[in-house]
A and B are shown apart, each in its own frame.
Chain A
Amino acid sequence: MMTATNTGKPLRIAGLTKTYETRSGETVEALGPVSVDVEAGEFLVIVGPTGCGKSTLLQVLAGFLKPTAGAALVGGQPITGPSVDRSMVFQSYALFPWLSVLENVEFGLARKEIPPRRRRELALHHLRLVGLHDFANKSIDELSGGMKQRVAIARAFAVEPSIMLMDEPFGALDALTRRFLQRELLRIWQEQRRTVVFITHSVIEAIFLADRILVMSSRPGRIKAEWRVDAPRPRDVTSEELRGLEREIYALLDEELAKSFDIELSAGASAGE
């Protein structure tokens, strides 16, 4: 809708699985196999029942975890470890409390060896994008939860990543703040067109934000279904069409959630024998 240049890179996830080994030697199949192709600049939202492996998937994409099988490629290059090129917004903000708001946003820029002058400019620009320009010199604990997450968003976008990974970034916020930040996020994304992989428990949030919604099955998580959402932004999620989509997605999630609870119950039963 805007004449934004596409600054994201495509992400290819091919046959990705992750199996955890617990201390007691048991194995937990957490994920997959999952195969997805995300276009450059696409806003992809993933929903799925709790414990299905969404965070695991994002940690593999961030480079914190090695996949057990399969691969993830960014712009054709396999992911080998964490990189500023794949930025992240965490549910619990993960801001550095010993740094000021501005220093938090500058942190990644300093590691990219951007000269101090330019660093400051970029950081202030991104703080302006999230409306916290006036709070640049405040310390983190002077901010509300919503403001912290805006700083985290500014920090993540400031490093100009090709891919933005967001694991339930608004999960800890109240409904109003959440609504506000969803709009802010969309505005920044529309301006910069980075590739986004966004995880949420909120179906409405998915519908409001996504170019494409993936629904995952219960653990080990696979792609169960996908929807492309073409409605123009800003979207009215109370429209008849989007309400219908919401009902469809919930029907599927309910089914998967029931399964995941069955798994838990039977596992508990066998452990008790």
Chain B
Amino acid sequence: MAKTTTAHGHELDRAGLSDDQLVAMLRNMLLQRQLDNRGFQLNRQGKIPFALGSEGHEAVQAGAAMAFARGRDVLVPYYRDLGLALGVGMTPFEILSSLFARDTDRNGGRQFPNHYTNKDLGVASISSIIAGHCTHAVGIAAAFKYRRESGRAVISPTGEGATSQGEWHESVNYAAVHELPVVFLVENNEWAISTPQSMQMKVANVADKAAGYGIPGVVCDGFSPIATYRAMHEALERARSGGGPSIVEAKCYRYLSHSTDDDDRTYRSRDDIEAHRKLDPVPRFEAVLIDAGVLDAAAAKALRQDVLRETNEATDAAEAQAYPTPQSLYTNVVAGDYRPWQEFDS
């Protein structure tokens, strides 16, 4: 792997990423953190009924998003993929429209926050049903293969808890048998609401399950965007060139409660969280880039301020939007005018 000797003399293993790409990843991570906090704040202010954070997943998602080929790949996200959504091109205004459930939300305010859709960007719509969408990721990959659209792949992320689901298993197995271009990214944050990994599986790593499907499985450091980028880039390139699916497990952590409706003090020790705080990927990556001379402290500060400004502007803009009309409840059930009882001119 090419290493760069920086002005400071520290070597940065940058996995082939340019300075601009490295800074883009940092910006994505800062924006994730800012938008995450904003969601929780708005909830505590009583302005929105629900929010869900990806705090602790920033590096995984910034790295995976950097490996995504815009205009070619498809992302079938799960509900904790704010950073992936941003990283593949969604805007803070879209995110906040969804948080505020406004008319400008592409789902028309129908879905929980974090359940995005943006077909133009290749972000597939999902339900809240854990792992149900993994089969869709496989189907999209099957369509790519059927149409001989090589150079395209699908990212199918989940948490580690989701890998207990039959549909996750069926998805990986189907993709393996049919050698489809899909990467199952597992964002292992150690918890599924209150259930620890040890209560989900007997193996130490989700990636170990790959052997049971006859496909590659790797573990990467989910606190490092570069490590996650490298693992995802390799898996996606293999998929895009006909090498079939793989599992990439990024070890990370969930710093916040599962959602604004959860209180993790009922099941998780503060010590556990504090221990992981030392690994916090956001300040750490900023320090790494400063240390490597990719940007200086002033530039990093400007980046943080810019992200805060963008978040504030998007918050105000989204909050000012109208709610979806009550009549919109009835649209898009099926194509056209929907009635279960059909009437004809007789």
Task: Answer whether A and B are interacting partners.
Answer: no
Q: Which residues of B contact A (CB under 8 A)?
A: none
Binding site for B on A (CB under 8 A): none
